[in-house]
Amino acid sequence: MENFTPLSALLGGGLIGLAAGLYFLLNGRIAGISGIVGGLLSPNKGDSAPLERAAFIAGLILGPLALIFGTSIEAQSMVTSPMPVIIAGGLLVGFGTTLGSGCTSGHGICGLSRFSLRSLVATLSFMMAGFLTVLVTRHLIGAA
């Protein structure tokens, strides 16, 4: 943790919590990315929120781009993995969100704040899977 900045981390976490809370209060929906994307790609009959879902996803993409290109802030990390690994990772995440009935944002931010036991179990499972993946790939088989 050589560049830990607690103030910006606290501010960022607070903004994420505020956005998730406002999304729920104003729309009555959980701000889980997999549910929003899933509803956009295969909407239910009578769903009145495709524009809202598209705006949410556009904000996730355009927000960081505006920050990087509109300020002097540089990206802190670069993706160096080969494209097949990135695609496989994306497919595995999609499978996991289907299996777990939601993603880290839905369970970890929105579910935990509502004291959902199911979300606690899901979040602990996500975290353990991440810990084990790093242990195996970085320490046991020595991948970058």
* pLDDT tens digits for range 124-142: 988 998 899 889 988 888 7
The pLDDT tens digits of the residues spanning 35-59 come to: 888 888 877 777 767 888 888 889 8
Q: Cα(70)–Cα(87) distance, rounded to whole angstroms?
A: 29
Per DSSP, 72 falls in state S
What whole-number distance in Å separates Cα of residue 28 and Cα of residue 22? 9
Count of beta carbons in the 10 Å neighbourhood of residue 53:
19
- Say whether pTM exceeds 0.95: no
Domain boundary assignment for the chain: 80-144
Q: What are the CB-based long-range contacts (under 8 Å, 24+) for 26-29?
A: 27/52
Q: Cα 84 from chain centroid?
A: 21
